Chain A
Amino acid sequence: MLGAVHSMLFPIARILEVYAVQEDAMLIRRAQNGDADAFEALIAPQEKRIYALCLRMLGNREDAMDCAQDAMVRIWRAIKSYRRQASFATWCFRIATNACFDLLRKKKNRTVISLDDLSAKGFLPDADQSADPHRQAEMGERKRALGAAIAALPEDMRAALILRDMQGFAYEEVAEILQAPLGTVKSRINRARAKVRQLLQSDAELFSSANVYTIERRKDT
């Protein structure tokens, strides 16, 4: 039964995927010809991710907003040179990452951002309103600690970790965005994960027993 449903749905999904790719290609062509509407339609799905990248990389909203807007304009200026060697999202994130690095270099903003500073600047995303207040507060604390740990990483490790574990890019895509060898990127991500875990474990209450249930369940199976 499931097989039959899958065999029916798979071609439809494939057609929709092809249609989406063709639509993207058409939008890219129009944007390359100077159509701002097409560019907006093309970049709109990426704007939140680009802003999130800038926010995590720079650590404050003002800089993130400026940098993300600068990245958008850079992408608009450079879209004529886009040759489809990489996916459009990868290409956009390469420009956005470079914009972040440029701003960091310009501002010499290499100091570790304190947890309180991040909190004061509203770094924390809005918490889930449906959760109970205690759970909401705990999640807020955990995210705050995570943000501080990420901000404490060196820039290259931070960028690799954000692109892989927060933005969900594949290792190869991260390597392409950062224009670094794949092995280097993997090494950076592993070191970044280890360092973030060490930083988070300093707060034993928040990170010690959170996922023990997962382990126990895995032990049972």
Chain B
Amino acid sequence: MTRDDFLSLLPLFPDEMPDEDTRIAFLAFAAEHDDCARELAAHESMLTLLHTADDSLELPDGFASGWREAVRAEKPERPPAWYSRWQSWSAAAAAVCVLIGGTALMRAGYLFPDTAAPVSQPMAAQSSALPLLPASPKSVGELEFLYDDQPPAAAFSDSEENARALVPQEDFDMAEEEESLDDAYAPFAGETAQEQEQKEEKAYHSLESLPQPSYSAVPVQANSNFLQVVSTQLDADLQQLLASCTAYGGQLLSQSTRSIDASSASHSRSVELTLQLPSDNVQAFLADAADMGTGAHSGTVLHSHSHSAQPVAAAGFSLVEIELAEAPLASPRPQLSRRAATAFEAALQAVRTFMADMLVFFVRSVPYLLLAAVPAFLAGISIQLFRKNKQKKERNK
């Protein structure tokens, strides 16, 4: 250790020495050198003085009473206003209330009556855009109600000239069509009409001699049904379904199994069944099948709707199509009863509609909000300046 090292370490003594070895070397060096010993003595003397300099300090007269009086003279702070704690929350709640209230008023037609209808009346909302859309075929029958709320648009699109102008015209050649028809009737060329009729009748009877299905063709049944069930135990549910079908006096007409790619997020296997059940028992059977979704080991009803009727079914019977899809094991859907699921869907739809309305209301309110924000901003600044001035005056006093 050199003298310079010693002097550089001196201010660190005794509480900030780098380590114990340095401390020992430092003290040993001081013991060996008188001038360094004197430096160290002065340093320790200074520290002792610093530590003890204020020990005998006395407080001046009036100091203790002075600050106590000053503290007690301080105006007691006003108790916090009832809204202070909830100020930020109440502001947010007020904004939400305004949004919801404004949306409700808009839906009721009290706000923005001239601009456009709210989303909850999509027909009316879209009507203004109808003239801009490609013309549709002339509306007939039940579809005419679509244009009830917008007669000018209906008149526009129903106009033949406009329709011709907008509908892409097909390249249709009548001469070519007639030639192809002549080719089709070529086998009958040169025969009289009577001979042709006899040939057609003969061909019809030959068709009748073909083997007929076990069921007779009947008119389209309006109550044919399709049901899609997601099952967590496909095989067990399939057996249960077939047993139920038999119990209701039905039979299995066809069954096909479909494998889906294992990487599919939805399910890996599905079985499609075509069943024939007595028409009277169809609804009861479907209800039972749908209840499989609420069973202890089963999945959820995904989809159920009236299917377009099949062309064939035994007399007094109806066709039922059921698709059993295997549910993914990783994320089973929450099991809800049908009624709860329906109510939930309805509520969700209502919320979605209202949120969409709210967005529309917000967007339409933006210009008014901007207009209101400017004076509010100026008023806020003025209030802040007024308060600061007041506080400054009080302090000066």
Q: Which residues from chain A sit less than 8 Å from chain B, CB to CB?
A: 34, 36, 39-40, 47-48, 51-52, 55-56, 61, 65, 68-69, 72-73, 76-77, 80, 125-128, 142-143, 146-147, 161, 165-166, 168, 171, 186, 189-191, 193-194, 196-197, 200-201, 207-212, 214-215, 218-219
In addition to A197-B11, A211-B40, 6 A-B residue pairs with Cβ atoms within 8 Å of each other are: A51-B59, A77-B74, A128-B56, A166-B50, A197-B39, A207-B42
Q: Which of B62-70, B122-130, B302-310 contacts A (4 or more CB under 8 A)?
A: B62-70
Closest 4 CB pairs of A and B: A72-B67, A211-B41, A190-B11, A165-B50
- Establish whether residues A212 and B67, one from each chain, have CB atoms under 8 Å apart when the complex forms: no
Residue B388, interface by CB 8 Å: no
Q: Which of B30-38, B145-153, B279-287 contacts A (4 or more CB under 8 A)?
A: B30-38
- Establish whether residues B71 and A73, one from each chain, have CB atoms under 8 Å apart when the complex forms: yes
A-contact 0/1 string along B41-85, CB 8 Å cutoff: 111111111110111111110111011101110101100000000
What is the CB-to-nearest-CB distance from A176 to chain B, in angstroms, rounded to a whole number?
17
Residue B10, interface by CB 8 Å: yes
- Establish whether residues A165 and B51, one from each chain, have CB atoms under 8 Å apart when the complex forms: yes
Residue B16, interface by CB 8 Å: yes
- Establish whether residues A201 and B53, one from each chain, have CB atoms under 8 Å apart when the complex forms: no
What is the CB-to-nearest-CB distance from A85 to chain B, in angstroms, rounded to a whole number?
22
What is the CB-to-nearest-CB distance from B51 to chain A, in angstroms, rounded to a whole number?
7
- Establish whether residues A210 and B71, one from each chain, have CB atoms under 8 Å apart when the complex forms: no
> In the complex, which range does the number of interface residues on chain B fall in?
35 or more
**Which of the residues A47, A61, A143, A191 comes within 8 Å of B64, measured between beta carbons?**
A47
Residue B27, interface by CB 8 Å: yes
Residue B343, interface by CB 8 Å: no
What is the CB-to-nearest-CB distance from B33 to chain A, in angstroms, rounded to a whole number?
11
Which residues does chain A contribute within 8 Å of B54, judged by CB atoms?
Answer: 52, 56, 125, 166
- Establish whether residues B57 and A146, one from each chain, have CB atoms under 8 Å apart when the complex forms: no
**Majority-rule SS of A interface residues:** helix
Which residues does chain A contribute within 8 Å of B72, judged by CB atoms?
Answer: 36
Q: Which residue of A lies closest to B73 (CB)?
A: A73
Which residues does chain B contribute within 8 Å of A34, judged by CB atoms?
Answer: 76-77
A208 to B16, CA, bound (A): 23
A219 to B62, CA, bound (A): 50
Q: Which residue of B lies closest to A170 (CB)?
A: B15
Which residues does chain A contribute within 8 Å of B67, judged by CB atoms?
Answer: 47, 68-69, 72-73
Residue B165, interface by CB 8 Å: no
- Establish whether residues B41 and A209, one from each chain, have CB atoms under 8 Å apart when the complex forms: yes
A80 to B64, CA, bound (A): 22
A-contact 0/1 string along B205-242, CB 8 Å cutoff: 00000000000000000000000000000000000000
- Establish whether residues B76 and A146, one from each chain, have CB atoms under 8 Å apart when the complex forms: no
- Establish whether residues A207 and B46, one from each chain, have CB atoms under 8 Å apart when the complex forms: yes
Which residues does chain A contribute within 8 Å of B12, judged by CB atoms?
Answer: 190
- Establish whether residues A219 and B31, one from each chain, have CB atoms under 8 Å apart when the complex forms: yes
Which residues does chain B contribute within 8 Å of A69, judged by CB atoms?
Answer: 63, 66-67, 70
- Establish whether residues A193 and B46, one from each chain, have CB atoms under 8 Å apart when the complex forms: yes
- Establish whether residues A165 and B47, one from each chain, have CB atoms under 8 Å apart when the complex forms: yes
- Establish whether residues B45 and A207, one from each chain, have CB atoms under 8 Å apart when the complex forms: yes
A77 to B74, CA, bound (A): 8
- Establish whether residues A52 and B57, one from each chain, have CB atoms under 8 Å apart when the complex forms: yes
**Which of the residues A51, A125, A168, A193 comes within 8 Å of B43, measured between beta carbons?**
A193
* Sample of 7 A–B contacts (CB below 8 Å): A47-B64, A65-B60, A125-B56, A142-B45, A193-B11, A197-B42, A200-B42
